[in-house]
Structure 1
Amino acid sequence: MSWLFLLAGLVLLLLGGELLVRGAVASATRLGISPMLIGITLVGFGTSTPELLTSVNAALAGSPGIAVGNVVGSNIANILLILGISALLAPLLVDPAALKRDGAMLLVTSLAACLLVLSGEVTAVMGAGMIAVLVAYVVWCYLQERRSQDAGARMHRHEAEAFVPAGTPPLWRSLGVALAGLASTLAGAKLLVSGAIELAAVAGLSETLIGLTIVAVGTSLPELVTSVMAALRRQTDVAFGNIVGSNIFNLLGILGVTALVEDIPIPQEILGLDLWVMLAATLLLLLAAWSGRRLSRLEGGIFLGGYLLYLTVLVVSNS
């Protein structure tokens, strides 16, 4: 039954996340909101809705291992697994200006999140501070890109265009799609958390391990679809920007909102290994992107190999 819950939850999360983003983007387009702002907010953060609802549900269910493991594991999977696959499909070009701003923000956010997590607990006060920083960052990005119309602005317009349907549907229909997506995502998050808790109990595995692997990869499926499709369309700036933006949102938005709902004690397993793998993957990504202004197929293969090695270490250490 636990596997059935997990599978149903993953399907609903993938379907719901897609419908939510497409409905929200179509509604915003119909209301005349600029594609750049849509890309920064609805697309950039909308693909992380499954992670958000899953972590909140896990925290409310008293499963901090799943709540935190989902965030840390998703960031690791986003970089090593998703960007690895995307770069293997097509080398990912990186604009230096966009990398300087968003890459620096990702590095600062990752370091700050590590410091907070090392305290042993992420509290509501910390969560409020993280959300405030995220809001300030989004406003700053929008104002900067609206003035300069730089590479970051083009990237966010491309993100929005990827979700705009041919012939924008009526507003009522777009809102209906978005609401259906939200309902599906909520149901999927509940099923996924229930299945993960039951699977951990039946299989004798820690909830943290399940959160870092099955849950984290499952909730990252929208990012995987978006990045892979962008790579196939040769919109490689979207593939790279989608992951960087999602990782920033995971650390500030998801961890922040979850901590506001419920103080989150940090499992020792994450403090011992996974937090440092996340930080190392982030540093590896930024170094690779900065050195060649792109992620090559070789680097994509190294990323993917690194993820398989990480999974192997997790399985062996928990066997």
Structure 2
Amino acid sequence: MDYLFVAIGLVGLFLGGDALVRGAVGVAQRLAMPPLLIGLTVVGFGTSMPELLVSVQAALGGVPALAIGNIVGSNLGNILLITGISALIWPIRVSGGTLGRDTAFMVAATLALVPLFWMGWIGRPAGAALVIGLIIYLVISYRTSQDTDTVEEDAGGTLWKSLVWLAFGFAVLLVGARLLVDGSVNIARSFGVSEAFIGLTIVAIGTSLPELATSLAAAIKKHSEIAIGNIVGSNIFNLLGILGATAVVAPIPVETRFLTFDLPVLIAATLVLTGLLLWRPLIGRWIGAALLASYAVYIVMAQ
């Protein structure tokens, strides 16, 4: 039954991702909103919902390593795995005027984990501070969104139709992610894999599949701004919103391995992605292949 859950979850995630991109592009056009902002907010938040559900349940269930691993692993998967695959499908070119601000928020949110992990404990005050940081980011994004370019392609249909696609995509993504994660965790535990490793790999990849499906669908449709905006936005939501909300619900102890190994890798990957987005006009297929190779190396070393 667990293998069936995994199969159904995969199908649901890809169907939901396609519906989410279709709805996001439609809403962006109808409301004259820039595609990068849609990817950073609407799509980024929607595809981060599985991480929120899994992390909160893990923290409440007494498996904090799974919660932390899910967030750190998801962000690594977003940067190395999803960006790599998206670039292989269609080279990423982003010219949004707010990209520097958004990547700065992503870097700052990642570096904020250093003192939290060093203390070995993320309590409710720290969690609340992270959530406040996310609110500040969203307010700034909203106020500056009118200064960027809007979607040019006609998505077709009405605003309500686009909203229905968004809602359908969210629902299918959530159900698919839940089935996939539940099945994957049960299978992994049957082989005696540690909870930290499960969180960093199996669960992280499972909850990142909405981002993968959404970014792949955007890449295929040649909406690179939606694809990269989804990745950057999802990372910000994961670090500030998901980790913050999880700590508010249930304070999280942090294992030493996250500070000494996984977090440094995440910081390095975040800085590499930021450099690529800010100083390269195009992230081509060779870079995408290098990112995928780096992710494979990390998975081997994370055991």
Bin of the TM-score, shorter chain as denominator length: 0.7 to 0.9
Report if the CA contact (8 A) 2:92-2:284 is conserved. yes
Q: 1:64 to 1:17 in 2, by over 3 A?
A: farther
| 1:245 alignment partner, one of 215, 233, 236 | 233
1:67-78 aligned within 5 A: 67-78=67-78
Report if the CA contact (8 A) 2:92-2:282 is conserved. yes
Paired with 1:310 and 1:178, the residues of 2 have a C-alpha distance of 34
Paired with 1:65 and 1:241, the residues of 2 have a C-alpha distance of 28
Q: 1:223 to 1:179 in 2, by over 3 A?
A: closer
**TM-score of the superposed pair, with normalisation by structure 2:** 0.84
- What's the offset of the Cα at 1:81? 0.9
1:125-140 aligned within 5 A: 125-140=125-140
Tell me which residue corresponds to 2:33: 35
**Alpha-carbon displacement from aligned partner over 1:130-178 (angstroms, at most 9, x marks no partner):** 11111111111111222xx2xxx33xx54xx99x96323758x956x76
Q: Report the count of equivalent residues.
A: 301
| Aligned-partner residue type, residue 198 of structure 2 | I
Tell me which residue corresponds to 1:257: 245
**RMSD between aligned residues:** 3.2
Percent of residue pairs identical: 47
Is 2:209 the counterpart of 1:221?
Answer: yes
| 1:266 alignment partner, one of 226, 231, 254 | 254
| Aligned-partner residue type, residue 302 of structure 1 | A
| Aligned-partner residue type, residue 107 of structure 1 | V
| Aligned-partner residue type, residue 50 of structure 1 | P
Unaligned runs of 5+ in 1: none
Report if the CA contact (8 A) 2:72-2:262 is conserved. yes
Tell me which residue corresponds to 1:65: 65
- What's the offset of the Cα at 1:110? 0.6
Report if the CA contact (8 A) 1:58-1:67 is conserved. yes
Tell me which residue corresponds to 1:119: 119
Q: What is the DSSP-based 3-state SS (H/G/I as helix, E as strand, rest coil) of the residue aligned with 2:98?
A: helix
Tell me which residue corresponds to 1:212: 200
Q: What is the DSSP-based 3-state SS (H/G/I as helix, E as strand, rest coil) of the residue aligned with 2:125?
A: helix
**Alpha-carbon displacement from aligned partner over 1:162-221 (angstroms, at most 9, x marks no partner):** 9x96323758x956x766666655555554554454334321111121121122112112
- What's the offset of the Cα at 1:79? 0.8
**TM-score of the superposed pair, with normalisation by structure 1:** 0.80
Report if the CA contact (8 A) 2:117-2:254 is conserved. yes
Unaligned runs of 5+ in 2: none
Paired with 1:184 and 1:230, the residues of 2 have a C-alpha distance of 17
Q: What is the DSSP-based 3-state SS (H/G/I as helix, E as strand, rest coil) of the residue aligned with 1:234?
A: coil
Paired with 1:85 and 1:197, the residues of 2 have a C-alpha distance of 24
Q: 1:167 to 1:54 in 2, by over 3 A?
A: same
Tell me which residue corresponds to 1:201: 189
Paired with 1:14 and 1:58, the residues of 2 have a C-alpha distance of 25
